[in-house]
A and B are shown apart, each in its own frame.
Chain A
Amino acid sequence: MFDIVLFVVFPYVAVTVAIISGISRYRQNRFSYSSLSSQFLENRTLFWGSVPWHYGVITLLTAHLLPLLFPSLWGDLLSDRIRLYVLEVTGLGLALMTVVGMTLLIVRRLRSPRVLAVTSTADWLLLITLLTQVAIGFWIALVYRWGSGWYLHTSVPWMISLLVFQPEIQYVTALPWLVQFHLLAGFFLVLLFPFTRLVHVFTYPFTYLWRPIQVVIWNRRPPQKQRP
């Protein structure tokens, strides 16, 4: 019964809340759909945190989405041992990179007084959840190999069963608890989406993925000497 709450009810609730609250926020507070960039306030550590984080996490999310969209093709891709190894090692490298990136982003928020001043409780909740999620993802990929193979035959059928409204939780309930935690934390992030700056994932157009870099610099007069 508890498993049903976790692996059937919770995902549906998370997605429903995300959709309804996401649309509602867009209708009522459109200009809050933003990453609320703090590049103006601190730019150096941001590069080493944000760039590895975003390129890493976008690639890894794509790798989580592809087996769901093209299960058969993904199976073909992994049928060669060398391809499997290359894919897994690349994934592990990217996963560790996101862990490093997110750690730097968190350290930056703590160490820069300016950025700390604009960081809300919701931001902290989001950052900690994201760090936990990628760290556990990396650990799972390392310890419970080969995730790209068994993901296709456990989590994917579970998610498809949810998509077609015929939930089948036996695909995931026998997995190690860390894997189950990773699945649930994924849906927790979906739940956080409309209430945090994570909404910036859906800021159309997506050209920022490939447009040339924009340098953001706060140009102002140097601080004047204080009068005695």
Chain B
Amino acid sequence: MTPFTTVTGVAAALPTPNIDTDVIMPKQFLKRIDRAGLAIGAFHDLRFDTDGQTRPDFVLNRAPYNQAKFLICGDNFGCGSSREYAVWGLQQLGIRAIIAPSISGIFFGNCEKNGLLAITLPPGDVDLLMAHADTPRTALMTIDLDAQTITAGPLRIGFDIPAARKALLLSGADHIQQTLDRAATITEFEAKQAATRHWLWARG
């Protein structure tokens, strides 16, 4: 996983609430067994019309937002299906961080596991960032994960992130290895459960 330290880039505003993962990654891109080739699928039906032509009305098709690294989104971004394809596609499109008043649970977890920084902020702060993003001249922002700040021109907004999550994102470390390092504790738990609730181990 790519570590996230300090990233500077263009932010694009997607104010519509409840943008679901069917919209972020439509079903026709889900029929594969690898993670590659998903950039084309990200927001596909918003980016392209039925003839495959680029839709100029969609923000990510317009300069400078076609270079966007950050998305400033409405409420409940990423709701719906658990498909991690949505996160892989956004990353392959160049997106490094999502900022929204609320981000749906499974999608949030998927971001975290892939090093896509997901930040929730009070609606007022999101509105401020959205106003900056909406003007091409002020759309450039910097996210400093270590300092936990988002800077856009004179605007500087802090964000919260649990220490363990921050450390993982900064280092880009392997989540599974971290848990495997606790294998002895898992074995202990299993032994205890098999003794105190043995029926959980008695399927069929």
A-B interaction: no
